[in-house]
Every structure is written in C-alpha cells, then in structure tokens.
Amino acid sequence: MSGHSKWSTIKHKKAANDKKRSGIFSKMSRLITVAVHEGGGLPDPDKNFQLRLAIDRAKLVNMPKETIQRAVDKASGGEGTQLKQMMYEGFGPGGVAMLIATTTDNPNRSVSDVKNVMDKNGGKMASQNAVSHMFTRCGVAEFVKSAMKEEDMFVFTEAVGAIDVEESDTHYIVFVPFEFVGHVKDLTSIQPESLDVYFKPQTVVELDDDDREKLDLLIEKVEDLDDVQNVYTNAS
C-alpha cells in the first residue's frame, strides 16, 4: 500500500481551484443534468448512482443545497436533454497523456475550444484511443483513517475486488473496478466517505520542473473552459 496518494493530491488541489472559478456551479449543474437524463430521468440519488456522484462533486465545491435541488428539478422536468458527455484525448508537455472530460450542448464548439487552448499552451490533440488505452476507468473510494479500523478497509477491498490501494496521512484510497462502482452498497456494509469515477493511469511519466510548470498551466487553462469537467493525466 502506497504511503502517498496521487488521487488525494489531485482531488483536494482541484477542489481548491474549482472554488475560485465563478462558473463552477454552472459546470456542476450540467453534470447533474446529464446524470438525471442518463439515469433514466430518476431524480432520486439513492436510485440513480450517477446523480449521487454528481451531487457529491457539487458538495465538494460548496454548491448550496438549494442550488443542487434546483438543478435536479429542472433536469427531471426535461431541461438540458441536449447535453452530452464527450472525452477528448491529447498530449501535454513532456509527452504526458491527457484525457479531457466535457459536458456540452455543442461538441463542435467544445472540441474547437479545447484544441485552441491545447495549441496555445504546449499541448496537442490526439486521435480517439491514442491515449485512453493508457488509463483504467474505475471507481475511487475514500475512507477516513481515524473513523475506521485498517482491517475493515481490507475487508472492503476484498469485497469489491480492489484494483489498488493508496493512502494519505488522513485517508485510505481504494480503487474499485468500474463495473462494481454502482453496486458498492450491495457488496459490503462497509461504506466509504466518498466514491467517485476516476481514470487511473497504468504507468506514470516523470517530469522535470519546467515541464511540470507548463503542464500545470495547461491544465488550469483547459479546466477554465466552460464545457470541461475534469482533466486526467499520467504525470507522476
């Protein structure tokens, strides 16, 4: 079990950055809208796992409960049916592989905006499947160390057939096969503090300080785009 969690670092850094962005609530509303529609129109997060994940993300950036409920109500009323989730692929400084997840009502605009930012900031778009095979789509479950016994965490990993386990100073992080993400409650009574979908790099690329700085700037610029929800990389 690793003593340092790349996932934990990414999550908390991204949450801090998202809180600074004025458009983040709009992004979260889009995510909630798509979750309702793709979940068969179900507005109940207990019955719609994708919606539960979207609401958890919204709470992470302090989106007010009333705003979340308003987004759910609008989506269940039929608003936003034109929204689609699109994944774009590319390379960043130092040859880093990038997956860029978007939620958009205009894929042509979305890909044009992403390409423009990539081209101007040291990145390059790639064809479909040029990068995605370097990542494993999975779930990521977090447990607060102080709230559980270590052996319970290992019981959980066995129950869900965990891909990998990491830890930070305060959390255990368990990577769950994607096909089991929606069934965690059925597989074990031991429940994580949070559960999300993640694209885990199969191998990582080491960067020097210069390329790291360039990559951080590129990711920041890409994530500032209205349609972009997440950026995943295989940087160390």
CATH classification at residue 140: 3.30.70.980
List C-alpha distances in Å: 76 to 79, 118, 189, 215, 222: 7, 35, 30, 38, 30
| Owning domain of residue 153 | 134-201
pLDDT at 227: 95
In contact, 139 and 196? CB cutoff 8 Å:
yes
- The closest of 115, 118, 120, 128 to 96, measured between CA atoms, is 118
H or E stretch at 113: helix 107-120
Q: Let me know whether 142 and 47 are in one domain.
A: no
What is the distance of C-alpha 14 from the center of its chain?
10
Q: Is residue 1 part of a domain?
A: no
Give the model's pLDDT for residue 12. Answer: 60
| Digitized pLDDT (tens) for each residue of the chain, 236 residues in all | 654 566 666 666 666 565 555 588 999 999 999 999 999 999 999 899 999 999 998 998 889 999 999 999 999 999 999 999 999 999 999 999 999 999 999 999 999 999 999 999 999 999 999 999 999 999 999 999 999 999 999 999 999 999 999 998 899 999 999 999 989 988 999 999 889 999 999 999 999 999 999 999 999 999 999 999 999 999 98
- Given strand 171-177, what is the order of strands in its sheet? 164-167, 171-177, 135-144, 194-201
Pair 159, 126 in one domain: no
Q: What confidence score (pLDDT) does residue 7 get?
A: 63
> Looking at the domain assignment, is residue 190 inside a domain?
yes
What's the pLDDT at 73?
96
